[in-house]
């Protein structure tokens, strides 16, 4: 029951990235859909699953963009971190916590992309603007979207976290 839902919702992430819905943009910058999907999944399903799905998302998203920048390492790291957090810490259900975690995650993802731009000798002139806009927007959307997904994953696998 859970696998079709996982596959379907994970496939939705690259489609949302491609659609780049105009209303859901801040100063022209879209939110990080990968973070919005990975956060509740890793919190509900643990570090190993977080790493695997982080890798899957990273591979799919890197295929969509030309150029040498990659989101894969940051997504793998985030999957592992959030999975650990979901197992070790007290259950995270409050919207504020989800927003904060999404904000930190997006900032980390943006920071890794910025470092890669500098590493490849590209201009990082617009990077701060993109990073701030994406971090803010993702953190604003996370409480709404992530808590719903968290409910869904916990409902589909009630015995997982205990």
Helical axes 2-19 vs 47-64, angle rounded to 10°: 30
162 touches other proteins (CB under 8 A): no
Report in angstroms how near the CB of residue 49 gets to other proteins at its nearest: 26
Number of residues that bind other proteins (CB under 8 A): 26
Select 31 or 86, whichever has its Cβ closest to other proteins: 31
Residue of 23, 66, 158, 159 interacting with other proteins (CB under 8 A)? 66
Cα–Cα distances (Å) from 142 to 64, 67, 106, 117, 125, in that order, read: 23, 28, 11, 26, 27
N-terminal to C-terminal alpha carbon distance within the chain:
20
Residue of 48, 59, 65, 119 interacting with other proteins (CB under 8 A)? 65
CB atoms within 10 A of CB 52: 15
Which residues sit at the interface with other proteins, rule CB under 8 A? 18-20, 25, 27-30, 64-69, 110, 113, 117, 120, 122-127, 130, 134
């Amino acid at each position: 029951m859970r696998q079709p839902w996982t596959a379907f919702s994970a496939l939705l992430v690259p489609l949302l990235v491609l659609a780049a819905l105009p209303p859901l943009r801040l100063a022209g910058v879209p939110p990080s859909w990968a973070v919005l999907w990975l956060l509740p999944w890793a919190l509900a399903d643990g570090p190993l699953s977080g790493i695997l799905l982080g890798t899957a998302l990273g591979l799919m998203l890197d295929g969509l963009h030309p150029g040498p920048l990659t989101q894969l390492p940051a997504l793998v790291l985030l999957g592992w971190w959030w999975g650990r957090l979901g197992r070790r810490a007290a259950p995270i259900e409050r919207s504020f916590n989800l927003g904060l975690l999404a904000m930190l995650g997006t900032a980390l993802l943006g920071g890794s992309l910025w470092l890669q731009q500098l590493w490849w000798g590209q201009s990082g002139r617009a990077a701060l603007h993109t990073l701030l806009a994406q971090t803010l927007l993702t953190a604003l959307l996370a409480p709404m979207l992530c808590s719903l997904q968290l409910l869904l994953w916990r409902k589909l696998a009630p015995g997982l976290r205990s």
